[in-house]
């Protein structure tokens, strides 16, 4: 387990160093063997050169003329967009012990709901939001289940 980083305050012989640990939350003996040290990566100094560009060489971009940046790609034929994930159920186990999950999906623009395998979903953000909300709801339910109980037997 690594702790630190610490500065080396003093070299004590050929095989030991004294570390500056004052003001840190660590409570350890300040003299350690050099084999226990790991050097912190040092970064070269940042360049200090100023770029000089003539005013005539500068480009002025008008945002209205730039193409719209969109993370949502166009849907291919036979591909539908997920509006929300409403529920989850555990399916069968694989031979490696992994459980297949199916999600109850509401499709954008369609009234029907359907169960879809986890591997067939391509809506990572919606899936992550569903999982986060599910964990929050489970924690809240546990807290509420303990509110009605008294401490006396």
Q: SS3 sequence, the chain?
A: CCCCCCEEEEEECCCEEEEECCCCCCCCCCEEEHHHCCCCCCCCCCCCCCCCCCHHHCCCCCHHHCCCCCCCCCCCCCCCCEEEEEEEEEEEECCCCCEEEEEEEEECCCCCEEEEEHHHCCCHHHHHHHHHHHHHHHHHHHHHHHHCCCCCC
Percentage of the chain beyond pLDDT 90 is 20
The predicted model gives 109-125 an average pLDDT of: 88
To the question of domain 82-147 being in CATH 2.40.50.40, the answer is yes
For the chain, what are the domain ranges? 7-36, 82-147
Q: Which residue has the higher pLDDT, 109 or 53?
A: 109
Q: Tell me the pLDDT tens digit for each residue of 60-116.
A: 667 666 666 555 566 667 677 889 999 999 877 778 888 888 999 999 888 999 999
Q: 58 pLDDT exceeds 90? A: no
């Amino acid at each position: 387990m690594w702790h630190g980083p610490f500065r080396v305050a003093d070299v004590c012989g050929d095989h030991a160093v004294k570390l500056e640990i004052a003001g840190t939350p660590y409570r350890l003996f300040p003299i350690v063997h050099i084999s226990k040290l790991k050097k912190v990566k040092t970064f070269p100094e940042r360049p200090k050169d100023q770029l000089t560009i003539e005013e005539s060489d500068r480009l002025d971009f008008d945002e209205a003329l730039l193409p719209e940046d969109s993370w949502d790609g166009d849907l291919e034929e036979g591909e539908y967009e997920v509006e929300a994930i409403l529920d989850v159920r555990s399916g069968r186990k694989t031979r490696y012990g992994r459980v297949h999950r199916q999600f109850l999906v509401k499709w954008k623009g369609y009234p029907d709901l359907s169960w879809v395998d986890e591997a067939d979903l391509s809506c990572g953000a919606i899936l992550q939001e569903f999982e986060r909300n599910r964990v929050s709801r489970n924690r809240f339910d546990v807290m509420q289940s303990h509110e009605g109980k008294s401490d006396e037997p």
